């Protein structure tokens, strides 16, 4: 996407505005003649009224000074030749003046091809609105014909103008005119008016919003990570710091490239250098997760607080997340769920879509988990998740699906869950893709379909989901929904292992031990099993015990074998792989029976992990 793309869209919007205005203003020649006659009659009536009310001893033409009216609505006004006496005329005189075009907002429901970028007014200054005290007005366009307005009236803050007999509504407040013209809202501002209340963004900032449409799948084009990246880069290169933050978030959350966390951090730092507080938010999440850096909850909280103090409500969301998820933030605070809810509540009122839906979803997560100080309430969780889901937030769509999947606060309903998971997956939420793959593999709420299971796993890979990467490798290894391809399976397992996905180390070790898709290499197999054991994977620990028991890739060492078997039994209680525990018990009994170890040694090794 070239940088001119959005500018072309704005030009198209302006053309639509002008065309709509022209259509409303156009009429037959006979109607034009009638208009002119009506206008002349109106002018004559005005003259007659003035003549009747003018003091006969005073000649208004002798005065060279034109009185100027002031108003609480208008910041500047045009001069008046006469003093209207009718209250309605007086109100009109008070706000008469020139209002320069400031921003344009095209309604997304009318022009969905423009996406949700139209939820934000975009600064666009090629028009002006001139309101004359005599009731006429003009829409002036740069480089195009002006549009004459036959009549306009003001009642309080409500503005009504007539275009070819069609009534167009709007408002005037504090020197700002908001005019709803067909499918477009136009904003005009008098000189000196506070335009910050409009919340308009620049065309360059609009690239960030358009990028979010692609990133979160909220626009008409749906999820498109390549287009999102292009938009963010365009915004960043144009000097919009938030563009660099969003690019960092993309590498942080959806990239599987080697070193992507470091790349994310570099973009977050670039955003900070440009004075964008969102950059601190991105850095904070990296430190909170320990992604690419050493985990540091206190540092993360400090970064979030810096962002919040700078006016970024996403910083409030970050602080809220840490305050309810962690029992302690070293040197800063202990768990404070009520304070977390206060921060979420503050962010939930943001005009920024991402800040708002993140907060709504966060409140739902609190009620779902029931941390200290809050009773677990699945019905309340569903309410908040649905609020964020109604605004298209993919994570919230996934959470609604999960409540149906597990039957939390609602009757368990796999079919409903699958429908919600598919909405989240279509919006680019990778975890939903992985769950759908599992549901199609086992026929939960959908017809059992291995082919679709594999397809959803690949979609998850595109979304940067590591569970989906592992699943794709698993399906390729065993030929589930696709042809067996051990070489490709190894590629996927290596990517998952790079993301510290413990089970991937187990499969890599097994494939190297068997020579599946790679040259047989027991030493490498042992290395992978060791890495998986360090991540508390029961299958890796069991396989490592097997290697030391029989001397595959290492020297025989029954004491080490016993230690890894005990670890496998312990870890199986967390990862759920009972088969690993069963295998470990069998091997321990075998070593005792063969006299390689004593029963006391076995009992002591198990006791170290609290296993009796």
The pLDDT value recorded for residue 539 is 97
Question: Does residue 570 carry a pLDDT above 70?
Answer: yes
List pLDDT tens digits, range 370-382: 999 999 999 999 9
List pLDDT tens digits, range 142-182: 888 898 988 999 999 999 998 777 888 999 999 999 998 87
Mean pLDDT, range 27-56, rounded to an integer: 38
Q: Are the C-beta atoms of 287 and 303 separated by less than 8 Å?
A: yes
- What is the percentage of the chain residues whose pLDDT exceeds 90? 76
Phi and psi at residue 383, to the nearest 5°: -60, -45
Question: Does residue 612 carry a pLDDT above 90?
Answer: no
Distance of CA 601 to the CA centre of its chain: 55
The structure tokens listed for 295 are 């985990």
Least confident among 30-34, 73-77, 113-117, 349-353: 30-34
Q: Are the C-beta atoms of 256 and 469 separated by less than 8 Å?
A: yes
| Residues in a beta bridge with 179 | 170, 186
Distance of CA 463 to the CA centre of its chain: 14
- What is the percentage of the chain residues whose pLDDT exceeds 70? 85
Mean pLDDT, range 240-268, rounded to an integer: 98
Q: Are the C-beta atoms of 347 and 304 separated by less than 8 Å?
A: no
C-beta atoms surrounding 73 within 10 Å: 23
Which sign does the torsion angle of CA 237, 259, 458, 434 carry?
Answer: negative
| Residues in a beta bridge with 68 | 79
Rounded to whole angstroms, the Cα distance separating 502 from 537 reads 6
Strand pairing of 184-189 and 166-173? unpaired
Least confident among 61-70, 280-289, 316-325, 441-450: 61-70
Mean pLDDT, range 362-366, rounded to an integer: 98
The pLDDT value recorded for residue 15 is 56
Tokens 């870890």 label which residue? 571
Q: Which of 371, 370, 433 is nearest to 398 (CA)?
A: 433
Rounded to whole angstroms, the Cα distance separating 112 from 593 reads 73
The structure tokens listed for 448 are 């059992």
Is residue 135 left, alpha or beta, with left meaning phi > 0 and alpha meaning psi from -120 to 50?
A: left
The pLDDT value recorded for residue 21 is 55
The pLDDT value recorded for residue 77 is 41
Q: Mean pLDDT in the chain? A: 88
Tokens 């108003």 label which residue? 71
Q: Which of 566, 537, 571, 532 is nearest to 549 (CA)?
A: 566
The pLDDT value recorded for residue 71 is 43
Rounded to whole angstroms, the Cα distance separating 272 from 262 reads 15
List pLDDT tens digits, range 382-429: 999 999 999 999 999 999 999 999 999 999 999 999 999 999 999 999
Torsion angle, alpha carbons of 100, 105, 111, 117, to 10: 130
Question: Does residue 490 carry a pLDDT above 50?
Answer: yes
Confidence (pTM):
0.84
Q: Are the C-beta atoms of 190 and 74 separated by less than 8 Å?
A: yes
The pLDDT value recorded for residue 10 is 52
3-state secondary structure of 240: coil
pLDDT classification of 86: cutoffs 50, 70, 90: low
List pLDDT tens digits, range 51-84: 444 343 444 344 444 443 334 444 444 444 445 4
Q: Which helix (H) or strand (E) holds 140?
A: strand 137-141
Q: Residues near 157 by Cβ (< 8 Å), separated by ≥ 6? A: 73, 171, 172, 173
DSSP code of residue 449: -
What domains does the chain contain, in order, with CATH numbers? 4-53+72-201 (2.40.128.280), 501-612 (1.25.40.10)
The pLDDT value recorded for residue 337 is 97
Q: Which of 233, 180, 170 is nearest to 207 (CA)?
A: 233
CA atoms within 13 A on the CB side of 160: 8
Q: Which of 171, 166, 134 is nearest to 147 (CA)?
A: 166
* Long-range Cβ contacts of 235-238 (<8 Å, 24+ apart): 235/204, 235/205, 235/207, 235/208, 235/211, 236/267, 236/270, 237/3, 238/3, 238/204, 238/207
Exposure string over 551-585, b if 16+ CB within 10 A, otherwise e: eebbeeebebbbbbbbbbbbbbeebebeebbebbb
Mean pLDDT, range 91-106, rounded to an integer: 92
DSSP code of residue 68: B
């Amino acid at each position: 996407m070239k940088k001119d793309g959005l500018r072309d869209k704005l030009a198209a919007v302006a053309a639509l505005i002008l065309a709509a205005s022209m259509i409303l203003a156009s009429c037959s020649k006979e109607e034009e003649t009638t208009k002119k006659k009506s206008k002349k009659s109106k002018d004559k009536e005005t003259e007659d009224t003035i003549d009747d009310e003018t003091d006969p001893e005073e000649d208004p033409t002798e005065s060279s000074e034109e009185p100027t009216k002031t108003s609480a609505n208008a910041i500047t006004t045009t001069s008046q030749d006469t003093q209207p006496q009718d209250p309605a005329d007086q109100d009109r005189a008070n706000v008469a003046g020139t209002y320069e075009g400031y921003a344009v907002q095209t309604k997304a429901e009318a022009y969905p091809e423009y996406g949700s970028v139209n939820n934000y007014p975009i600064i666009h200054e090629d028009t002006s609105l001139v309101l004359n005290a005599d009731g006429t007005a003009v829409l002036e366009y740069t480089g195009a014909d002006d549009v004459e307005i036959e009549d306009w009236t003001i009642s309080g803050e409500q503005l009504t103008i007539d275009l070819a007999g069609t009534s167009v509504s709007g408002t005037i407040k504090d020197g700002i005119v908001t005019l709803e013209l067909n499918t477009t809202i136009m904003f005009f501002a008098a000189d000196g008016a506070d335009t910050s209340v409009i919340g308009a963004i620049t065309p360059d900032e609009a690239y960030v919003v358009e990028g979010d449409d692609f990133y979160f799948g909220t626009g008409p084009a749906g999820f498109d990570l390549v287009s999102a990246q292009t938009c963010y880069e365009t915004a960043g290169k144009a000097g919009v710091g938030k563009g660099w933050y969003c690019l960092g978030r993309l590498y942080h959350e959806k990239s599987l490239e080697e070193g992507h966390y470091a790349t994310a951090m570099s973009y977050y730092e670039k955003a900070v250098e440009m004075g964008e507080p969102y950059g601190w938010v991105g850095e904070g999440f990296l430190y909170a997760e320990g992604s690419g850096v050493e985990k540091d909850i206190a540092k993360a909280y400090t970064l979030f607080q810096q962002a919040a103090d700078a006016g970024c409500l996403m910083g409030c969301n970050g602080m809220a997340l840490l305050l309810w998820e962690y029992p302690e933030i070293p040197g800063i605070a202990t768990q404070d769920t009520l304070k977390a809810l206060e921060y979420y509540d503050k962010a939930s009122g943001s005009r920024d879509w991402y800040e708002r839906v993140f907060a709504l979803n966060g409140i739902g997560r609190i009620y779902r988990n029931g941390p200290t100080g809050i009773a677990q309430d699945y019905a309340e969780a569903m309410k908040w998740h649905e609020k964020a889901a109604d605004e298209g937030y993919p994570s919230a769509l996934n959470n609604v699906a999960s409540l149906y999947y597990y039957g939390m606060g609602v009757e368990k309903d796999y079919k409903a869950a699958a429908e919600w998971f598919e909405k989240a997956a279509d919006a680019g939420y990778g975890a939903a893709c992985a769950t759908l793959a599992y549901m199609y593999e086992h026929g939960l709420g959908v017809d059992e379909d291995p082919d679709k299971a594999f397809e959803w796993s690949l979609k998850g890979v595109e979304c940067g989901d590591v569970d989906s990467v592992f699943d794709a490798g698993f399906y390729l290894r065993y030929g589930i929904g696709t042809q067996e391809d051990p070489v490709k399976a190894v590629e996927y397992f290596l990517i998952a292992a790079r993301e510290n996905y413990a089970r991937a180390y187990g499969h890599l070790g097994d494939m190297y031990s068997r020579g599946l898709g790679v040259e047989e290499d027991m030493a490498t197999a042992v290395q992978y099993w060791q890495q998986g054991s360090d991540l508390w994977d029961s299958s890796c620990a069991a396989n490592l015990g097997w290697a030391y028991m029989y001397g595959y890739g290492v020297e025989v060492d029954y004491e080490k074998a016993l230690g890894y078997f005990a670890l496998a039994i312990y870890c199986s209680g967390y990862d759920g792989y009972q088969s690993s525990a069963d295998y470990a018990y069998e091997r321990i009994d075998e070593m005792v029976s063969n006299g390689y170890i004593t029963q006391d040694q076995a009992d002591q090794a198990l006791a170290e992990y609290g296993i009796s």
